[in-house]
Amino acid sequence: MGADEVWRGDVRDVRDPSELLGRAIRYEGRVWRVVTDAIRLPDGTEVERDIVDHPGAVGIVALDDDDRVLLIRQYRQPVGGYLFELPAGLRDVVGEHPWATAQRELLEESGYVARDWHVLLDFFNSPGGSTEAFRCYLARGLTEVNGGRPATGEAEEAHLPRVWVDLDAAVDLALRGDLHNPTTVTGVLAAASARERGWSTLRPAGVDMWVLPDP
């Protein structure tokens, strides 16, 4: 390893996009598209990278007064099975703040509204090949709306059985390999870690997300 491969700066992700030389759309789907970016790296090397251009998503750790987390059971065709997941959804409404998306998704997928909202963590779901930026919220002070969740889902989202799981038990399920959804695994572990720190790591719900460079 050369001397130039030892990092001596701050350990913090920063925005610093390479020069975009061109973009070709390979596939245009209902939710996302696949593009090929031609870029020039800092050393002058020109390369092409295939990228899933994704609108991003949010998830919600809904925690009740007994420190139980709400999970829903949903079928996922790409993995051919049913996964237990946190309420979550795509950021597919133009101009909608991720916090507003999270409030809407919690209601639509669980029938609950929350009084207290905070940011737990942000991450890129697969930064080697996708633009999907993800934010996970902590929602507390829960109230179930009259009549339960609205009938807004279809197909896989038409029937979403729910279960309340003790947060410590949910951590055990994740570490044991019984939970596989990345939203659920990261959200549950983040919530448990934040609780151990007296919730001191929580951020305001309205804080801005990482902004991707324009194409």
Instruction: Output the tens digit of pLDDT for each of the chain's 215 residues.
Output: 566 789 989 998 888 889 999 999 999 999 899 999 999 998 999 999 999 999 999 999 999 999 999 999 999 999 999 999 999 999 989 889 999 999 999 999 999 999 999 999 999 999 999 999 999 999 999 999 987 777 666 666 778 899 999 999 999 999 999 999 999 999 999 999 999 999 999 999 999 887 654 44
Q: How far apart are CA 45 and CA 124, in angstroms?
A: 25
Residues 167 and 183 in one domain: yes
Residues 115 and 178 in one domain: yes
CATH number at residue 65: 3.90.79.10
Task: Please report whether residue 90 resides in a domain.
Answer: yes
Task: Please report whether residue 151 resides in a domain.
Answer: yes
Instruction: Return the closest-CA partner of residue 139 out of 207, 202, 74, 91.
Output: 202
Residues 46 and 143 in one domain: no
Question: What 3-state class would DSSP assign to 69?
Answer: strand
The answer to whether the CB of 100 falls within 8 A of the CB of 90 is no
Residues 39 and 107 in one domain: no
Residues 139 and 102 in one domain: yes
Residues 43 and 77 in one domain: no
Task: Please report whether residue 164 resides in a domain.
Answer: yes
Residues 21 and 73 in one domain: no
Instruction: Return the closest-CA partner of residue 110 out of 57, 71, 155, 54.
Output: 71
CA distances 66 to 69, 73, 77, 79, 140, Å, are 9, 21, 33, 32, 11
Question: What's the pLDDT at 153?
Answer: 60
Task: Please report whether residue 1 resides in a domain.
Answer: no
Helix/strand/coil (H/E/C) assignment for every residue in 85-138: ECCEEECCCCCCCHHHHHHHHHHHHHCEEEEEEEEEEEEECCCCCECCEEEEEE
Question: What's the pLDDT at 214?
Answer: 47
pTM: 0.91
The answer to whether the CB of 136 falls within 8 A of the CB of 58 is yes
Chain CA centroid to CA 186, Å: 9
Instruction: Give residue 36's domain range.
Output: 15-53
> What is the number of structural domains in the chain?
2
Q: What are the residue numbers of the active site?
A: 157
Residues 144 and 167 in one domain: yes
Residues 119 and 160 in one domain: yes
